[in-house]
Amino acid sequence: MQALSLGVVDWLVIASYFLIVLGLGFYLKRYTTNEEDFFLAGRKNSAWVAGLAFLSANLGALELLGMTGNTFKYGMYVAHFYWIGAIPAMLFLGIYMMPFYYSSRIKSIPGYLKLRFDEKTRVLNGFAFGVMTLLVSGINLYAMALVLRTFVGWDWNVSIWISAITVALYVGMSGLMSAIFTEIIQFFLIWFGLFLVSILGIIEIGSVKEILHRVPESFSTLWSTSGDASQNGMMITWAGIVLGLGFVLSFGYWTTDFLVVQRAFSAKNLRSARMTPVLASFFKMALPFIVILAGLIALVLSRDPGSGFALVQEGGQVNYDSALPLLIARYYPSGLIGLGVTALLAGFMAGQAGNISAFNTVWTYDIYKSVINKTASDAHLLWMGRVATVVGVVISIGTAYWAKSFPSIMDYMQAIFSWVNAPLFATMLLGMFVRWITPNGAFWGLLAGMGSSFFLFLAVKFQWISNSALTLSTSASDMAANFWRAWWAWLICFALTIVISLFTEKKPESELVGLVKWLTPAVDESHVPYMRRPQTWAIISVVVLVALNIYFW
Amino acid sequence: MKSIWFFVGLTLSIMGVLVVIAGILDYVSPPVRQTTLGSIHPAVWWGVLMVAAGTLFLLTEKRRK
C-alpha cells in the first residue's frame, strides 16, 4: 500500500506526544526519591489511576492491530479475548487473590513465590519472567518499526532508536510512576485516536445491525456456532474457548503476569488494589467497540467490490494487520492521521515501558537482591533499578534486530505466554488455596509445566504430533492449538504439584499466615457502604458480561 | 504534585486544538484527494470534542486543588 502521507499538523501532533511524555519523566523525577517510589509508584494511586494503568499495560498497539486483523480473519469470536477471556480472571484477581498479594507487601509476583514456597521457585519464575518480558519488549519494538515502515514509510532504525531512547529516559527517571502516567495518557489517546474509525465506519455502512447483517453468520455470533469447530471462523469448540482461553490463558495472564498486576500493587490501600482490576473490567468490556467493530467494518468493505477496500497482500499472503491502518487511511484527513499514528505509537511505547518497568523490578528484587547482592541498601537498589532500565532497553533493541533477521520469531510470541503464565497459574492457585502444597511440589510442578508447554509447541511445529491430537478436534486453527496447549501445560503442572506435594516436606503453617486462604482472616468490609465495595462492582461487571454474551450469542 | 488528570487534560487539549486547526484548513482549502466521508469534516467536530474533554479534565484538576 502507499504510505500514509503526513502533513505539518500531523507531525506537530506526533511531536507534542513525545514532548509531553519526556516532560512528564522530568517532572516526576523530583518526586521519585526512594526505591518504593521507583518500583511501586510510592503505593499512593487511587483505584481509578491503578485501574486504567492495569488495563492499558495490556493495551498495546500490537494487540490493537492484531485483534482488528484477527476479527477480519475469525469474526466476532475474537470478542472472547475481551469478555470471557478476561473479565472472570480480572474479577477473581480483585476479589480473591489481591488480599494475599497486597497484604503480604510483596514487590513482585516472584516475591510471593518466595514467601509461600522458597527461593528456588522464586528465582525460576523471576528468570522466566525476565526473559519473557525482554523478548516481548523486543518483538514489540520490531513490530512497531515494521508497522511504521509499512504504513507511514518511516526508517527502521530511526523508529526503533527514537522510541527506545524515549522510553529509557522517562522510565529511567521516574520508574513505575512515569510508566503509569504514560499508560493512562495512552488509554485516552487510543480512544480518541481510534474510536472515530468505528464511528465513521458505522456512518458509511449505515448501522451496527447492518454491519452484522452483511458478514457471514459464523462471523457475527459468539457462541451459537461453537458446538462444531468446522462451523465457526476460529475453528474451535466451546470447550476450547472455556478451558483454554477463558480459564487457563486468561487466568494465567491476568492473575499472575507481573506486568499488569504491578499496577494494582501501586494502589494506596487494599480496597483500592482490589478495585483496580474490577474497575478495569468495565473498560476491557468496551474495547471490542474499537477493535471488533473496526475488523467487521473492514470485512464488510472488502466484501463490497464498489468500496475499493482491500487488505494488503504480501508475497501472496494477506496481511490482516493492515486492516486498521487502511481504515485510518480511508477515513482520516490531515490532523486526524497524526492523531491515529500517535495513538499507535503511544500504544507501542507504553507497552514497552510497561515491560521495562516490570523487568527492572523483577531483576532488582528477585534476581539481583535475591542471588547476587543480598545486603544491597535501598539507595543501591534504586540505582540498580535505573541501570536495569537502560540495560533492559538495550537488550530489547538487540531482540528487535534479531527479530528483523529472523521474522518467524513473531510466530512464537503467542506461544511465549503459554510457556510461562499457564503453568504459573496452577502454582499460584494451589499455593493460595491449598495449605499442604509444598515448596518442592511447586518447583518441580512449575518446571514440568513450563517444559511440557515448550515441548508441545515444538512437537506441533515439527509435526511430531498433529494439531488434532492436541485440540481433540478434527479441524483446528493455530489459535485453537495455543488455547489447548495452555490447558495441557496447566493440567500437567497442577497434577504434578499435587502428587509431589504428597511425598515432600511441608512448610510450617505459622509461616503461611497471610499467604494461604484458610490460614488468613477474611477481609472485613462490613463498615464500607455497598456501592464502595469491590464485590458489588464485581457483580455488576458479571451482569454486564452475561448480557453482552446473550445479546451477541 | 499535579495529578495524572491534569496531564490527560493537557494532552487532549493540545492535540484537539491541532486537529481542529487541520480541520479548518481543510475546510477553507479542500485537499486534492478527499477522504471517505471527508464532506462531514470529522477533524473539526472530533477536535472540538477532544478540546471539550481536555478542558473538563483541566477544570476537574483545578477544582480538586
The nearest CA of chain B is from the CA of A331 a distance in Å of 5
How would residue A76 be classed by pLDDT, with cut points 50, 70 and 90? confident
Is the Cβ pair B15, A24 closer than 8 Å?
A: no
Query: Which amino acid is residue A92, in one-letter code?
Result: F
Mean pLDDT score, A288-311: 89
What integer pLDDT is reported at residue A232 of this predicted model?
72
When CB atoms are compared, the residue of B11, B23, B49 closest to A335 is B23
Three-class DSSP category at A5: coil
How does the average pLDDT of chain A come out, rounded?
Answer: 87
C-alpha cell at B29: 482549502
Three-class DSSP category at A314: strand
How would residue A299 be classed by pLDDT, with cut points 50, 70 and 90? very high
State the total domains in chain B: 1
Please name the residues between 162 and 181 in chain A that touch chain B, using a CB distance below 8 Å.
Answer: 180-181
Q: Which domains does chain A have, with CATH numbers?
A: 8-551 (1.20.1730.10)
Q: Chain A residues with CB inside 8 Å of B46's CB?
A: 192, 196, 336
When CB atoms are compared, the residue of A13, A188, A196 closest to B8 is A188
Share of chain A above pLDDT 90, in %: 37
Query: pLDDT for A305-318, tens place per residue?
Result: 888 888 888 777 88
How would residue B14 be classed by pLDDT, with cut points 50, 70 and 90? very high
Mean pLDDT score, B20-48: 90
| Element containing residue A249 per DSSP (H, E) | none
Query: pLDDT for A438-494, tens place per residue?
Result: 999 999 999 999 999 888 888 887 888 877 777 776 666 666 777 788 888 999 999
Is the Cβ pair B43, A13 closer than 8 Å?
A: no
| Element containing residue A375 per DSSP (H, E) | none
What integer pLDDT is reported at residue A419 of this predicted model?
80
A450 touches A131 (CB < 8 A):
no
Is the Cβ pair A20, B40 closer than 8 Å?
A: no
Q: Chain B residues with CB inside 8 Å of A185's CB?
A: 4, 7-8, 11
Does A202 have pLDDT greater than 80? yes
What integer pLDDT is reported at residue A528 of this predicted model?
83
Mutation to test the B interface, candidates A339, A345, A349, most B Cβ within 10 Å: A339
How does the average pLDDT of chain B come out, rounded?
Answer: 91
N-term to C-term CA, chain A: 36
For A151-199, list the strands marked E by DSSP. none
Residue A413 backbone zone (phi > 0: left; psi -120 to 50: alpha; other: beta): alpha
For residue B57, the chain A residue with the least C-alpha distance is: A188
Is the Cβ pair B42, A331 closer than 8 Å?
A: yes
When CB atoms are compared, the residue of A10, A31, A200 closest to B42 is A200
What integer pLDDT is reported at residue A74 of this predicted model?
84
Determine the Cα angle at A303 with ends A300 and A309, to 5°: 80
Residues of B with a Cβ under 8 Å from any A Cβ are 1-2, 4, 7-8, 10-12, 14-15, 18-23, 25-26, 31, 35-38, 40, 42-43, 46-47, 49-50, 53
The nearest CA of chain B is from the CA of A326 a distance in Å of 12
Share of chain A above pLDDT 70, in %: 96
For residue B47, the chain A residue with the least C-alpha distance is: A336
What integer pLDDT is reported at residue A507 of this predicted model?
92
Mutation to test the A interface, candidates B35, B39, B56, B64, most A Cβ within 10 Å: B35
Q: State the sign of the Cα–Cα–Cα–Cα dihedral B17, B23, B26, B27.
A: negative
Mean pLDDT score, B54-59: 94
Mean pLDDT score, A218-224: 81
Mean pLDDT score, A260-286: 92
Is the Cβ pair A16, B15 closer than 8 Å?
A: yes
N-term to C-term CA, chain B: 10
Which of these ranges, A3-12, A142-151, A195-204, B19-28, has the smallest mean pLDDT? Answer: A142-151
Q: Which residue has the cell 500504544?
A: A347
Query: pLDDT for A19-34, tens place per residue?
Result: 999 999 899 888 888 8
Mean pLDDT score, A106-114: 89
When CB atoms are compared, the residue of A13, A203, A330 closest to B18 is A13
Residue A438 backbone zone (phi > 0: left; psi -120 to 50: alpha; other: beta): beta
B10 is in which domain, residue-wise?
Answer: 4-29+37-64
Which of these ranges, A224-238, A241-255, B40-54, has the smallest mean pLDDT? Answer: A224-238
Is the Cβ pair B19, A9 closer than 8 Å?
A: yes
Is the Cβ pair A336, B15 closer than 8 Å?
A: no
Query: pLDDT for A326-384, tens place per residue?
Result: 899 899 998 899 999 899 888 888 888 888 988 999 999 889 988 898 898 989 999 99
What integer pLDDT is reported at residue A66 of this predicted model?
83
Please name the residues between 26 and 85 in chain A that touch chain B, using a CB distance below 8 Å.
Answer: 27, 31, 49
Is the Cβ pair B15, A342 closer than 8 Å?
A: yes
CA distance A72 to A78: 9
C-alpha cell at A492: 500437567
